[in-house]
Amino acid sequence: MTIQKFSKREAIRFGWNTMKSNLGFFIGLLIVVILIGIVPGIIADLLAKDAPVLSIIISIASWVLQLVIGMGLIKIALRFCDKEKGEFAELFSCFPLFFKYLFGSILCMLIVLGGMILLIIPGIIWSIKFQFFTYFIIDKGLGPIEALKRSSAITKGAKWDLFIFGLLLGLINLLGALCLLVGLFATIPTTIVAMAFVYRKLLAQTEIVQL
């Protein structure tokens, strides 16, 4: 059996160097993301008393937009991994994939929840096993079930490394938050790109094995 491997140091270094080379772009990108995440919520709260229906519509629209932007951030990270430049327009480019992403997220959540009920450990394992399903939807346009299957395939033999890697990324962002939150403008792009880098590495290894 071929064990899928990746270098945590290489992934984090690639994310860090990509962030440094495109710092202005990422700062502007995160400011846009933050504003889109906050402003509609403020408007919805202001309208909640006098126009509750409109407030609910704005809240739902904001939730949908935030999911789409989350997908857009992954797409931008993948572009950098492919040695292409990120573009602000990519933030909103994944609207056609929204329902695939939504249904996939629900399926993954139910699977992980079921694992958590089974003494927690299976839930952790399954969350690692299926963590790249969103990448397959965004990168390959796959349906939810096929994306979950492909994520399961590329994480085979790499779950422990992915668990440690996830802890490292969490620690990096914690350090960014401790730097008066300003550090997050450096650590969030670093970790997003690093995770996309790992996806690309594992996917490439799987495709080589299949050949």
pLDDT number for residue 147: 97
Q: Give the residue carrying structure tokens 């008393």.
A: 49
Per-residue model confidence (pLDDT) at position 1? 44
**pLDDT tens per residue, range 104-143:** 999 999 999 998 887 788 899 999 999 999 999 999 999 9
* Residue 53, pLDDT above cutoff 50: yes
Q: How far is CA 175 from CA 66, 77, 115, 185, in A?
A: 25, 21, 30, 12
| 2 pLDDT more than 70 | no
Residue 103: pLDDT over 50: yes
Q: Where does residue 142 fall: left (phi above 0), alpha (psi -120 to 50 degrees), or beta otherwise?
A: beta
Measured distance CA(140)–CA(25) in Å, rounded = 25
Look at residue 208 and tell me whether its pLDDT is greater than 90. no
- Residue pLDDT, tens place only, 56-76: 999 999 999 999 999 999 999
Of 98, 3, 29, whose CA–CA distance to 60 is shortest? 98
pLDDT band, residue 186 (cuts 50/70/90): very high
CA dihedral 112, 185, 161, 75 (to 10 degrees): 70
What band does 150 get if pLDDT is binned at 50, 70 and 90? very high
